[in-house]
Amino acid sequence: MGDASHPNWSAITTSAFPWEKEALDYMRAQFPSHEPYRAWSNFEFIADDGSLNEVDLLVFAPQGFFLVEIKSRPGVLTGDTHTWTWQHDSHQKVVDNPVFLANQKAKKLASLLQRQRTFEKLRVPFMDPLIF
């Protein structure tokens, strides 16, 4: 199920969030339309631990396999390896660095994929988390 405007991109569902849709549209416009590049956006999976996990974008490229988490928020972003702080107008929001959750999702998805028939004799490529 490819996107009609992009042969190597499959949008499983449409994002309900305008900022996420904008980010996905931006990435799709830059995304190569030739093999071996592939992308799947907006899907969910149930991990071995029973948790429901949402994936914004999964990319396969010669450089690797990437689980991309979209974080869109107005303002100035600062932070460190543990927390991120968004400053907008007079508001400040502090959150855990999203790479940790994206890394957990990537490991859960890789584990699930490894048990699929396609990977019976192959190893699932290492999946890196990315924050966009």
Domains of the chain in start order, with CATH, are 9-72+99-131 (3.40.1350)
Strand partners, 106: none
The residue written with tokens 């190569």 in the block is: 32
Q: Please, what sign has the CA dihedral across residues 102, 107, 112, 113?
A: positive
Give per-residue pLDDT as tens, 64-87: 999 999 998 888 999 999 999 999
Report the distance separating Cα 104 and Cα 99, nearest Å: 9
pLDDT of amino acid 3: 54
Q: Dihedral of the CA atoms 2, 28, 109, 125 (nearest 10)?
A: 90
Write down the pTM of the prediction.
Answer: 0.87
